[in-house]
Chain A
Amino acid sequence: MQNSEPGVDGSPLADTEISYAQFRALANSIPNLAWMANPDGWVFWYNQRWYEYTGTTPEEMVGWGWQSVHDPELLPDMLGNWTSSLSNGEPFEMTFPLRRGADGSFRMFVTRAEPLKEDGRIVGWFGTNTDITELERTKERLQLVVNELNHRVKNTLVTVQSIAAQSFKHSDPADYLTFERRLLSLSRVHNLLTHSGWSNAEVSEIVSISAKMFGEDRFEMNGDAIVVDPGLATSLAMTLHELCTNAMKYGALSNSSGRVIVKWSTESVGERKFMQFSWNEVDGPPVVTPTRTGFGLKLITRATTSGQGARVDHSFDPAGVRCDVRVPIDQGFLR
Chain B
Amino acid sequence: MNGLRVLIVEDEIPAAMLVEDAVETGGHTVAALATNIASAMVAASTGEFDVALLDVNLHGQKAHALPVILQRRGKPFAFVTGYGEAGVLSEFADAPIVHKPFAADEVWAALVTLSGRI
The reply to whether A155 and B103 contact each other, CB–CB distance below 8 Å, is: no
Bound CA–CA A161/B13 (angstroms): 12
Is A108 interfacial (CB-CB < 8 Å)? no
Give bound CA distance, A291 to B14, whole Å. Answer: 38
Across the interface, do A180 and B103 meet the contact criterion of CB distance under 8 Å?
A: yes
List B residues at the A interface (Cβ < 8 Å): 12, 14-15, 17-18, 21, 57, 82-85, 99-103
- Inter-subunit contact B18/A181 (CB<8 Å): no
Q: List 23 A-B contacts (CB under 8 A).
A: A150-B82, A150-B83, A151-B57, A151-B84, A154-B100, A155-B100, A158-B15, A158-B18, A159-B12, A161-B14, A161-B18, A161-B101, A162-B14, A162-B15, A162-B17, A162-B18, A163-B14, A165-B17, A165-B18, A165-B21, A166-B17, A184-B102, A191-B83
Whether the Cβ atoms of A158 and B14 lie closer than 8 Å is yes
**Interface size, A (range):** 20 to 34
Contact B100 A158 (CB under 8 A): yes
Neighbouring B residues of A225 by C-beta, 8 Å: none
A residues lining the B interface (CB < 8 Å): 147, 150-151, 153-155, 157-159, 161-163, 165-166, 180-181, 183-184, 187, 191, 194
Q: Is the interface of A mostly helix, strand, loop or mixed?
A: helix
Contact B14 A154 (CB under 8 A): no
A180 CB to nearest chain B CB (Å): 6
A141 CB to closest chain B CB, in angstroms? 15
Give chain A residues whose Cβ lies under 8 Å from the Cβ of B18.
Answer: 158, 161-162, 165
Report the minimal beta-carbon distance from B95 to chain A, rounded to whole angstroms. 19
Chain A residues with CB below 8 A from B82, complex form: 150-151, 154-155, 158
For residue A153, which residues in chain B have a CB less than 8 angstroms away from its CB? 83
List the B side residues contacting A158 at CB < 8 Å. 12, 14-15, 18, 82, 100-101
* Bound-state Cα–Cα, A183 to B102, Å: 9
How near does chain B come to A186, taking the closest CB pair, in angstroms?
9
Across the interface, which residues of A come within 8 angstroms of B12, CB to CB?
155, 158-159
Picked from A157, A166, A180, the residue with its CB within 8 Å of the CB of B100 is A157
| Complex Cα gap A10–B58 (Å) | 67
A184 touches B103 (CB 8 A): yes
Nearest 3 A-B pairs (CB), nearest first?
A162-B14, A154-B82, A147-B84
